[in-house]
Amino acid sequence: MKSPLMLSVVLMSLCSVAFAQSAAPTDAQKSFDRLKTLAGSIEGKPAQVSLRVTSMGHTLMHEATGAGRPDDPITMFVVEGDRLLLTHYCDGDNRPRMVGKLSPDGKTVEFEFLDVTGNLQYGHMQHAVFTFIDASHHSEDWTYMMPGDRPVRAHFDLQRTSDGKVLR
């Protein structure tokens, strides 16, 4: 009898279609995938940035270095459910988290403040925007909130390096 066999084939096909539809990338995943295109060594003023995809593709690590700094702040990006999360491990001994969204035109990912843990004596990171210029260039705008709700903004124009040399 062909009916049970046919029913099995139909059910397996429906399950495959349902899985494929549920596997469609979320907006958070699209934002994360866009950020992962920045992976590599990046040079600029006043910082150098290293972006590395890690944890089997589930995490992006951002490390910024600057002249005269004894160590580097680290920022981690992950997708958690339907949110793109940024956690900044600040040299101010705190860990702000922000939620990111990709702009409709795909040219920026903007992060809005969610919460912070740790020492708030000196302030904390509050906002970040990553702007994609082309395959080798991007900019970063960071806002640090000082005590008394006084924002300090930093802008970085960054360019991918090749063989350790700055591209001109």
Q: Which residue has the tokens 């940035």?
A: 49
* Domain of residue 154, residue span: 26-162
pLDDT tens figures, 61-118: 999 988 777 778 999 999 999 999 999 999 889 999 999 999 999 999 999 999 999 9
119 part of a folded domain: yes
Residue 165 pLDDT more than 70? no
pLDDT tens figures, 129-144: 999 999 999 999 999 9
DSSP state of 106: S
What is the chain's mean pLDDT, rounded?
86
14 part of a folded domain: no
- ∠ CA(76), CA(138), CA(81), 5° rounding? 35
Query: Among 77, 45, 82, 71, which residue's Cα sits nearest to residue 159?
Result: 45
123 part of a folded domain: yes
Write down the pLDDT at residue 20. Answer: 43
Q: What is the pTM of this model?
A: 0.81
CATH of the domain at 40: 2.40.128.20
Q: Who's near 43: CB < 8 A, 6+ residues apart?
A: 49, 158, 159, 161, 166
Quickly list DSSP for 58-85. Answer: TEEEEEEE-TT-SS--EEEEEEETTEEE
* Tally of domains in the chain: 1
Write down the pLDDT at residue 5. Answer: 52
Residue 153 pLDDT more than 90? yes
Write down the pLDDT at residue 168. Answer: 31
5 part of a folded domain: no
Helix, coil or strand: residue 102: strand
21 part of a folded domain: no
Strand (E) or helix (H) holding 14: helix 3-22
11 part of a folded domain: no
111 part of a folded domain: yes
82 part of a folded domain: yes
Q: Which one of 3-17, 44-58, 142-156 scores highest in mean pLDDT?
A: 142-156
